[in-house]
Every structure is written in structure tokens, then in C-alpha cells.
Chain A
Amino acid sequence: MSGSSSGAGVEVSGLGKRYGDVVALDDVSVIVQPGELFGFIGPDGAGKTTLFRILATLLRPDTGSARVLGLDVVRDLWAIRSRIGYMPGRFSLYADLSVEENLRFFAAVFGTTLEAGERLVAPIWRQIAPFAGRRAGALSGGMKQKLALCCALVHLPDLLLLDEPTTGVDAVSRREFWDLLEELQRGGLTILASTPYMDEAARCDRVALVQGGRILDVADPRRIGERFDRPLVAVRAAERLRLLHALREHPGAGSVFPFGDAIHYTDARADRSGERVAAELRDYLRDRAFPDAEISVVRPGIEDVFMALMRPPAGAAA
């Protein structure tokens, strides 16, 4: 953590933004350390894109302030623009230009060349170079996103703003994309990325949970399970829909959600131990004719915490 403008990451303080009567950002404050890989997760409309656009100097905040690399997003916008790489949520390259033409175009816009950007671009360029002559519009989803990342790096920025860079991208390409981000982070870049995928959020140093224009929590994904205040029980049985309904009808049911091949259950009564909840469910499901039910106490993951925080405060848990 450094106070100098060259070492700073991102500092957001009391940021607010409205569109007419819609509050997009409501008093948001967060600090991203230099060199950090920082994630934003939250439902559609939470305010993530608005925050990224303000940090990219494309939108002015109504209230509060934001500093990027030690520079003010309103006063110093031109200085910021040459030092950040921004990937908007929608595919924003020229579909009718080839892969290489897109890259050379973005390099030219920033007054540089593809060759000068070599240091950051090389690892990604190696992967997309076989398609250099292909129209960008004809690339697969994963390749389009790698090209967009390449274009965001060609002017050697110090900080990356990636707004849902892997939405619609398959599981393998997503892994490769995040491998690249980690490589860039090791090279010293500060990276802010939003994502709907919890496996990606788990790869960040820290994650902010955003909802309704506010940051609900900022946490280390490796320790986020500690935010969960009650035991979590995983239940498996062949008849899944019937199991889901049976668990919801349990008198103590708090949250009941499908989770991969299991259903995750929490009890509304916070004082019970995991073993006790599991034992109660075992008896309950035996009476309901689930002879194959498997029940175990499990550690909450980032997605469990996310959903617990997302639930409306006056929800069905009471």
C-alpha cells in the first residue's frame, strides 16, 4: 500500500450515481491495493457496470470521489485513460476487421504499436496468432474475449477494468482466461473484474459482493465461509425435485437450494449444531420415503455465502 500516485490502486469513497429515479450506486466505498486481483460479484443491475464505467472515466459520479492509480476520475480523466485497459461487458471490437487489424487499430488509437505492446500482449497473442487473419466476428466466444483482452493491453496499462469478461464463454476457455489474468497479475498489473461465475470469484485475492448499488461485504474468498453463521448440510437423493420440496416443508427449513449434484440446506434455528441438524433430517427423510438419502455437514463456499447475503432481509427464513 503506497500513497504515491505511481503505487496506488483504486480508492473509491462515498460514490453515488443515479439515472433519473433509479439509484445505480449508493454511497460505495472500497479500496483496491496495487497489484491486487479484485473481484466484484452481484446480481444483474447491482451497479457493477456503473462503477466500472466511472472508474474508466466514461461516466461522472453524482457524489463522492474515485481515484485510479492515484488520479482523480473527473479531474485527471485523460491521464487515467492512457494508463488503464478497459473491457466493457459487450463485445466491443470491430467484427468486420481481422484479429490483427483490431489489435493494430487499438494500438494506433493509443499512439503505440503492436510490437511496442509485446511485453504484455505476447502470452495471449501466442494463443490467437493462428487466427490473425480471421474476422473478429467469426471467432468463438472464448477467442473473442482473449482478443478483447489483448486490445486492452496493447498500450501497456498499469490497471485493468474487466466487466464480466467471460460471460457466455465455455468452462475451459474461462479457465484459460483466468490463467492469463493471474499471469498478468504476477507481472505487476492491478486487475478489477466482475463475474457471475463463483469459481472465478474464488480465484480473486478479495471479492466485493454488490447488490442494490451497495457493497454488502468485501472478503477473501478463501475465508468467506467464516461469514456463514450456521451449519450447512448437503443432501443427496435420486428423486431431486421431491427431495427439494420435502426439505422446504421441513419445519426448521431456512434456505434450501440445488447445489450441483446435492441440495444445500440450512436450518432457520441458528442454535443447532450441524450434527444435530443432519440427524434430524435423517429421521425426517426416512419417514418421507427417501431410503437413499445421503446427508453430510459441509463447509460453505463462496456461492453459499453469496446467496445468504443476497436473500431479502425479510425473507422466508423466519
Chain B
Amino acid sequence: MTASAARAEPAIEVRGLTRRFGAFTAVDDISFDVAAGEVFGFLGANGAGKTTAIRMLIGLLAPTAGTARVAGFDVATQAEQVKRHIGYMSQRFSLYEDLTVRENITLYGGIYGLSDDAIAARTRDLATRLELERELDERVGRLPLGWKQKLAFSVAVLHDPRVVFLDEPTGGVDPMTRRQFWERIYVAAAEGTTVFVTTHHMDEAEYCDRVSIMVDGRIAALGTPAELRARFGVGTMDDVFVRLARPGAAA
């Protein structure tokens, strides 16, 4: 996070965000800001409410109460604008395996409303940057996992979104591929993209500028990894996580 980015408007502004399903409160009055260009880790046990919170932040689910602004737009009243200004990559990857690399880029470029010229330019640019020139007309299903991931991430930021949401991008991925993926995250953040990321790898929590930990729908802790380790008097984020999440772990 650069000093100039920190002075800008927050990329994400969440105030009292709440979502209930019947009698069950999945997200319970959460508030936080994410600065532009920040890498923000959004952690929590399975069932803690992360997915529900993310679905609200990307404009797919209306909040029951509270507000959230993402990339300058209100998620409840300007959901379509939110979707246009964010990128999203779901667990593992979100490409069409039966389409070629070029077809995937073209498809997503079209969905994001890029012109044909822009799509052609982006395709050339990505092919060079990702060293995929020879694989452009290869079906995505035939690529190694590491390449699919780089491509999925690049496609998620094809339209230069201000904020990119990465939902467990490294689930089930080997240590080498995970590190290569995080280097892309660093580069995107250094270029000014705000990165909102979930992970179950606690060593990856250390790579974030700040992390929040959700427990039973609420944010139980928020700070830099060093602050959280110090606050709980433990050596690793894994221990921080276990301390916080243990009470709700049975559900």
C-alpha cells in the first residue's frame, strides 16, 4: 500500500452490514474500510459468514441492514455499477475449460463491455505477459493448474477494476503454485488494484496488509498480521485463528 493510495477514498466501505436468512443471522453488523491498493485478507471458519458477506459486496445479495460501498458505488442501490467496477475469481478458477485461452478472454471481455479492439489488444498483451503466445488456441482444460490460475486472475482484472475479489484462489494448490499466484497479487496491488482475498492457508494471511477474522457472522479481530499476533501473544496467524475460531468450530 503506497502513501498516496492510503489518502484516497476507501475502495470498500462497510457500515453495519447485516444479512439474515429467516431467524438465522449470517452476517451480523460488520463494519470496516479497505484502502485503495491494499491487500485485505478476509478470514473465517467454514460457515462463519464470509461467503454471504462477499456476495453482498459484489452486488449479488441484498443486505438486510447496513450499507456497503465498493469502488464508490452502493451495493444495494447501484449493484450493476458495482459489478462493472470489480473483478471476481471464485474458488480455484472460473474459466470455461472447453473454450480456448483466446475464447475465454474474448468472452469475458465482451461480458465486461470492452470493445473488439480493446479485447484484441488485451489478448495480445496478456499472451505476452503470461507467456501464453503458443497456447492461445489451446483449450483451457489442457493447461497446467498454475497457468489456469494466472489466466483466471488476469481475466478477472481484464477490465482494470478498482477492486478484485478472490474467493479461496489457492484452495487445493501446491506450495509453489500458491507462491507464484501471490506474486501476481503483490504486483496488482503495487499497480493500485485493491485486493480482497479469502484463504484457508494461514501462512497466506501473513502476506496481507491487514486481515479480518469472522466468527459467527461478526468480525472478531481486524488488524495487520503483526498486530494480531502481538494481541494474542502467539507466533503465527494459525494460532490467532484457532484462538478465535475454536468456540464456533462445532457448527
In the complex the two chains form, is A199's CB within 8 Å of B238's CB?
A: yes
Contact of B207 among A130, A258, A311 (CB under 8 A): A258
Contact of A261 among B177, B182, B206 (CB under 8 A): B206
Q: Is A140 an interface residue (CB 8 A)?
A: yes
Contacts of A164 in B (CB 8 A): 172
Contacts of B242 in A (CB 8 A): 171-172, 175
Contacts of A313 in B (CB 8 A): none
Bitwise interface map of A from 273 to 308 toward B, beta carbon under 8 Å scored 1, else 0: 000000000000000000000000000000100110
Contacts of B22 in A (CB 8 A): none
Q: How far is the CA of A2 from the CA of B149 in the complex (A)?
A: 45
Identify the closest chain B residue to A164 (Cβ).
Answer: B172
Q: Is A142 an interface residue (CB 8 A)?
A: yes
Contact of B200 among A168, A198, A240 (CB under 8 A): A168
Contacts of B118 in A (CB 8 A): none
Q: Is A196 an interface residue (CB 8 A)?
A: yes
Q: Is B110 an interface residue (CB 8 A)?
A: no
Q: How far is the CA of A261 from the CA of B47 in the complex (A)?
A: 27
Segment from B126-134, B150-158, B243-251 that makes contact with A: B243-251
In the complex the two chains form, is A169's CB within 8 Å of B200's CB?
A: yes
Contacts of A172 in B (CB 8 A): 45, 241-242, 245-246, 249
Bitwise interface map of B from 164 to 199 toward A, beta carbon under 8 Å scored 1, else 0: 000010011111110100110011001000000000
In the complex the two chains form, is B46's CB within 8 Å of A140's CB?
A: yes
In the complex the two chains form, is B176's CB within 8 Å of A258's CB?
A: no
Q: Is B226 an interface residue (CB 8 A)?
A: yes
In the complex the two chains form, is A241's CB within 8 Å of B190's CB?
A: yes
In the complex the two chains form, is B202's CB within 8 Å of A310's CB?
A: no
Q: How far is the CA of A261 from the CA of B207 in the complex (A)?
A: 7
Q: Given A140-B47, A142-B46, A175-B242, are A168 and B182 also a contact pair (CB < 8 Å)?
A: no
In the complex the two chains form, is A310's CB within 8 Å of B45's CB?
A: no
Q: Is B91 an interface residue (CB 8 A)?
A: yes
Closest Cβ of chain A to B48, distance in Å, is: 8
Identify the closest chain A residue to B182 (Cβ).
Answer: A258
Q: How far is the CA of A112 from the CA of B237 in the complex (A)?
A: 44
Closest Cβ of chain A to B94, distance in Å, is: 15
In the complex the two chains form, is B46's CB within 8 Å of A196's CB?
A: no
Identify the closest chain B residue to A261 (Cβ).
Answer: B206
Q: Is B87 an interface residue (CB 8 A)?
A: no
Contacts of A44 in B (CB 8 A): 144-145, 172-174, 177
Q: How far is the CA of A42 from the CA of B206 in the complex (A)?
A: 23
Q: Given A44-B173, A168-B172, A241-B190, are A173 and B145 also a contact pair (CB < 8 Å)?
A: no
Question: What is the interface size of chain B, counting residues whose CB is below 8 A from a CB of the partner?
Answer: 41
Interface size class of A (residues with CB under 8 A): 35 or more
In the complex the two chains form, is B249's CB within 8 Å of A173's CB?
A: yes
Q: How far is the CA of A45 from the CA of B177 in the complex (A)?
A: 12
Q: Given A140-B251, A170-B200, A174-B200, are A260 and B206 also a contact pair (CB < 8 Å)?
A: yes
Q: How far is the CA of A196 from the CA of B176 in the complex (A)?
A: 11
Q: Is A188 an interface residue (CB 8 A)?
A: no
Q: How far is the CA of A240 from the CA of B44 in the complex (A)?
A: 25
Q: Is A127 an interface residue (CB 8 A)?
A: yes
Contacts of A105 in B (CB 8 A): none
Contact of B46 among A170, A306, A307 (CB under 8 A): A170
Q: Given A44-B174, A164-B172, are A261 and B186 also a contact pair (CB < 8 Å)?
A: no
Q: Is A183 an interface residue (CB 8 A)?
A: no
Contacts of B202 in A (CB 8 A): 171
In the complex the two chains form, is B250's CB within 8 Å of A168's CB?
A: no
Closest Cβ of chain A to B179, distance in Å, is: 5
Closest Cβ of chain A to B119, distance in Å, is: 29
In the complex the two chains form, is B91's CB within 8 Å of A198's CB?
A: no
In the complex the two chains form, is B176's CB within 8 Å of A310's CB?
A: yes
Q: How far is the CA of A260 from the CA of B46 in the complex (A)?
A: 22
Closest Cβ of chain B to A91, distance in Å, is: 12
Contact of B168 among A43, A130, A168 (CB under 8 A): A168
Sample of 11 A–B contacts (CB below 8 Å): A41-B174, A43-B176, A45-B144, A140-B251, A164-B172, A171-B245, A172-B246, A196-B172, A241-B187, A244-B183, A310-B174
Question: Chain B: residues with CB nearer than 8 A to chain A?
Answer: 44-48, 91, 144-146, 168, 171-177, 179, 182-183, 186-187, 190, 200-203, 206-207, 225-226, 236-238, 241-242, 245-246, 249-251
14 new A-B contacts at CB < 8 Å, known A44-B173, A170-B241, A172-B45: A42-B174, A43-B146, A140-B46, A167-B172, A168-B168, A171-B202, A172-B245, A173-B45, A174-B200, A196-B173, A197-B201, A241-B187, A244-B186, A303-B175
